[in-house]
Structure formats: C-alpha cells, structure tokens
Amino acid sequence: MYGAFQPSHLLLVLVVVLIIFGPGKLKGLGKSLGESIRDFKTEITKEENKDDKDNNTELKKS
C-alpha cells in the first residue's frame, strides 16, 4: 500500500539513528543539515539572479 517505505520501516530507521548518534548529537546534525540546505538555496538564488542579469544585458545589446 505504501510502497517500499512503510511507517514501521521509517520508525525502525529513526530508532537506529537515535541509538547510533544519541539525542544530543542528533540535534546538532539536524541544525547543520538545515543550515547547509539554507546556504544551498541562497547560492542557487544568487546564481539565478546573476544569470537573469546577464541575459537582460545581452538582450539590451542586441
């Protein structure tokens, strides 16, 4: 019904990760992951804006 990832599988993975890393380190890993994703999105947006400016400059020259 759910495919490969049933709720019980996800719960098992969560328990294993919690046992391996512990609650304190897991909080730090989550924070680091969130900051990395935010930085990645920011850089992608900057690149898109830069590309848009370059394209507009080329159109004005034509």
Task: Give the per-residue pLDDT at 61.
Answer: 61
Task: Give the per-residue pLDDT at 48.
Answer: 85
Asked if residue 35 belongs to a domain, the reply is yes
Asked if residue 36 belongs to a domain, the reply is yes
Range of the domain at 33: 23-62
Report the C-alpha gap between 44 and 26 in whole angstroms.
27
Whether residue 53 contacts residue 61, with contact meaning beta carbons closer than 8 Å, is answered with: no
Asked if residue 13 belongs to a domain, the reply is no
Asked if residue 10 belongs to a domain, the reply is no
Asked if residue 6 belongs to a domain, the reply is no
Task: Give the per-residue pLDDT at 49.
Answer: 84
pTM > 0.75? no
Report the C-alpha gap between 43 and 45 in whole angstroms.
5
Asked if residue 4 belongs to a domain, the reply is no
- Provide the number of structural domains found in the chain: 1
* pLDDT exceeds cutoff 70 at 1: no
H-run or E-run covering 59: helix 7-61
DSSP characters over 28-43: HHHHHHHHHHHHHHHH
